[in-house]
């Protein structure tokens, strides 16, 4: 059962809530999937059952394959936010980390073609792989993070390149979904997404520091 965990230097006991995800928040990622750049943030949800820790083997279920990775800066909420300003949103941040928004890309494309919701491609059990969090003391207008696979850099994110900045995103989300303590917001993925394979060794980094390492394992 997933629980929020912390790297050395911080500890906050919070229940596990929902995950609010932002789609197409990097122009280069939208282009690599031939998606239009949106006029406003694209929002979708993952339930708490989607969450798994990034410090245990990552299970790739054969029945859901192929599964693609999307590395994202994740924000842990510590105070309720409804119709919040950017300033109020910043006061509610208790931690940041790096997450993988796992996606059944082929299923997502089929669902989009049919005009159907994305949940079967985005919200399945284990579809949100979350690193331990660190206390929030970062400059969210210039924070870097990344994903390496088998020792090779695959994704490098920089909040300075986001279409909608982090605090503006949190304020925007709170106009539609009340954010509660223990909720997580994923802020969008940079270019470089791709398929995960059995045996892949993953490393998630934030500001050059390793937050989590795990290995992919195929399961029935």
The 10s digit of each residue's pLDDT in 85-112 is 999 999 999 999 999 999 999 999 999 8
Check residue 33 and give its pLDDT: 73
The answer to whether 143 and 158 are in contact (CB under 8 A) is yes
Counting residues of the chain whose pLDDT is more than 90, the rounded percentage is 87
pLDDT, position 34: 74
pLDDT at 8 over 80: no
> With 90 as the cut, is the pLDDT of residue 11 above it?
no
Collapsed DSSP state (helix, strand, coil) of residue 50: helix
In order of start, what are the domains of the chain with their CATH numbers?
19-219 (3.90.850.10)
Q: How far apart, in whole angstroms, are the C-alpha atoms of residue 72 and residue 157?
A: 8
pLDDT of residue 196: 98
Q: Quickly state the pLDDT bin for 35 (edges 50, 70, 90).
A: confident
pLDDT in tens, 107-158: 999 998 999 998 999 999 999 999 999 999 999 999 999 999 999 999 999 9
Band (pLDDT 50/70/90 cuts) for residue 27 is confident
Could you give the residue ranges of the DSSP H alpha helices within the chain?
27-32, 86-91, 105-113, 119-122, 166-174
Neighbouring CB atoms inside 10 A of 91's CB total 12
β strands within 70-151, DSSP E: 71-77, 93-101, 128-130, 134-135, 144-149
Average pLDDT, the chain: 94
């Amino acid at each position: 059962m997933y629980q929020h965990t912390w790297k050395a230097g911080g500890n906050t006991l919070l229940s596990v809530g929902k995950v609010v995800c932002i789609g197409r928040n990097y122009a280069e990622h939208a282009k690599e999937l031939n998606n239009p750049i949106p006029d406003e943030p694209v929002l979708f949800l993952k339930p708490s059952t989607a969450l798994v820790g990034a410090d245990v083997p990552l299970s790739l279920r054969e029945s859901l394959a192929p599964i693609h990775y999307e590395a994202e800066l994740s924000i842990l909420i510590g105070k309720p936010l409804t119709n919040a300003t950017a300033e109020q949103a910043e006061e509610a941040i208790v931690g940041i980390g790096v997450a993988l928004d796992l996606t059944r890309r082929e299923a997502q494309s089929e669902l989009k073609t049919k005009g159907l919701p994305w949940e079967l491609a985005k919200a399945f059990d284990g579809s949100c792989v979350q690193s331990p969090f660190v206390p929030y003391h970062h400059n969210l207008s210039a924070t870097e993070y990344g994903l390496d696979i088998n020792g090779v850099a695959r994704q490098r994110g920089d909040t300075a390149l986001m279409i909608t900045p982090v605090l503006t995103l949190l304020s925007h989300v709170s106009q539609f979904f009340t954010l509660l303590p223990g909720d997580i917001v994923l802020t969008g993925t940079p270019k470089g997404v791709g398929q995960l394979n059995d045996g892949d060794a993953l490393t998630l980094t934030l500001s050059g520091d390793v937050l989590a390492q795990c290995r992919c394992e195929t399961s029935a």
